[in-house]
A and B are shown apart, each in its own frame.
Chain A
């Protein structure tokens, strides 16, 4: 681990609830300025990790430091640099949006002058400017979620920790929140978020951590995670002139089967462990011999869904 670029470091962090091991020797870093997406099945330990990271859980073993401050010993200092939105966010419903932000801002140490500037700014960022005077009880679920992000941003934290920030949002709000996360990241904020919506993680995260049964299975960029697959297991071919005889390529050595998607487009499924270059070369020769014209050949890259299923499946012994 290169601590020069890291903002938060977890080393061997373990948490048990009675006999249940919620987090098992988790070790990873969160780098300054990155968007780190944390994915895993329900009960994998995502929320436990987040609660440890923000100081809500203090009885864990291992070590955790954020910006050089040790958790939980120095958490009072850390609270000033962490913004947090829990998974099931709730406010005291008698408050108005403005009153809630005023209270949380004061508790985070902002004076009235700074708050009078920051509250309109964060409401603008999350698209709640028109709801400033409304009581929280009258807000929709999506608006409460966005208010949750607003309160986390109020004191301009260095590390923004969001537990499932996109769940419960309609497509429009999700696009808006993802765009906000990218904007905050460009401004230098470090963001750590969990989600079970893989496409959202794929859209915004610079690096992705996969967690299963309390263990961090893999961490890396999407490309790094995909590189763990043999990307040449499946090859897509597109023909500009389809003679309809491409199914014959399935008889060749190293090719398990051939499936067609639509006219002029089909997939070669290679045998595991086959000599990829030879198999593709033979298939191309056969197609050309039969009078086909090839427009493109492309190895099929796995989606994050496939990467996730592979790692989580392995982690759970499937």
Chain B
């Protein structure tokens, strides 16, 4: 019950935040821009896949920074005691944030890719079944990357004593960890997106478990 309340609550705050405003507007624009720039991926990667990675990398980084900054700020200001003197599981506070951010980013990513495909369609490039399948597969990989970076953001937010340290750690560590989700793609495993998804889910669960364990031990 408390998780549901916290999830909906954080969602309400997150979807209209400044960072999300950038994602709702900026990422679809970026997708349009990529369409016209047509970067040369030397046949290694389709444009759909490439643009999805760019978009999700940007959004995943922004989301994880926002989580780190938000949690450290709330810890230092003393926001949490008001929640913790109510019948609320501590894990709900963190998981509510994770799922709210995940929902917003996933929605922004789907919107971005949909805009890109619409641009393709109206510019006469067309949208083939293969492209759709690739976009779907890329989304799965992208979601796993975002789950890893967001969960790493939560863990660093709980552990880090200062915003500066937290942001540095997430910029250098979080993105590297998230990029591990791409390994199955580069290793050319059969149906790599499912491996990526499993990989991402596993790492995200591990980071969230560690974050909740550390948060449970904290005294406010």
Residues of A contacting B79 with CB < 8 Å? 90-92
Instruction: Please state if B220 and A56 are interface contacts (CB–CB under 8 Å).
Output: yes
Q: Is A30 an interface residue (CB 8 A)?
A: no
A178-219 residues with Cβ-Cβ distance < 8 A to B are none
The CA of A92 and the CA of B78, in the complex, are separated in Å by: 10
Query: Contact between A104 and B12 (Cβ–Cβ < 8 Å)?
Result: no
Across the interface, do A79 and B81 meet the contact criterion of CB distance under 8 Å?
Answer: no
The residue that B78 contacts in the complex, of A54, A59, A90, A109, with Cβ under 8 A, is: A90
Given contacts A57-B219, A84-B81, A90-B77, contact A79 B17 (CB under 8 A): no
Closest residue of chain B to A105 (Cβ to Cβ) is: B86
The answer on a CB contact under 8 Å between A95 and B77 is no
Q: Which residues of chain A (240-298) have a CB below 8 Å from chain B?
A: none
What is the CB-to-nearest-CB distance from B210 to chain A, in angstroms, rounded to a whole number?
Answer: 21
A86 / chain B contacts, CB cutoff of 8 Å: 78, 81-82
Contacts of B219 in A (CB 8 A): 51, 56-57, 59
- The answer on a CB contact under 8 Å between B81 and A107 is no
Measured CB to CB, the nearest residue on chain B to A103 is: B9
Rounded to whole Å, the gap between the CB of A72 and the closest CB of chain B is 11
Contact present for B2 and A107 (CB under 8 Å): yes
Chain B residues lying within 8 Å of A76, measured Cβ to Cβ, are: 87
Q: Which residues of B contact A108 (CB under 8 A)?
A: 86-87
- CB A214 to nearest CB in B, in angstroms, measures 17
A94 contacts B17, C-beta separation under 8 Å: yes
Verify if B5 is at the interface (C-beta below 8 Å from A).
yes
Asked whether A70 is an interface residue with its Cβ less than 8 Å from the other chain, the reply is no
Q: What is the CB-to-nearest-CB distance from A59 to chain B, in angstroms, rounded to a whole number?
A: 8
Query: Are A56 and B81 neighbours in the complex by a CB distance under 8 Å?
Result: yes
Q: Mark A72-113, 1 if CB is under 8 A from B, else 0.
A: 000010011010101011111011000100011011110000
Contact pattern, A 97-136, Cβ under 8 Å of B = 1, otherwise 0: 0010001101111000000000000000000000000000
- Chain A 42-72 against B: per-residue CB contact (8 Å), 1 yes, 0 no? 0000000001001111010000000000000
Can you identify 17 A-B contacts, CB atoms within 8 angstroms? A54-B85, A55-B84, A56-B85, A56-B220, A76-B87, A79-B85, A79-B87, A82-B85, A84-B82, A89-B78, A90-B74, A90-B79, A91-B79, A92-B79, A107-B2, A108-B86, A148-B82
Across the A-B interface, the 5 shortest Cβ-Cβ residue pairs: A90-B77, A107-B86, A84-B85, A79-B87, A90-B78
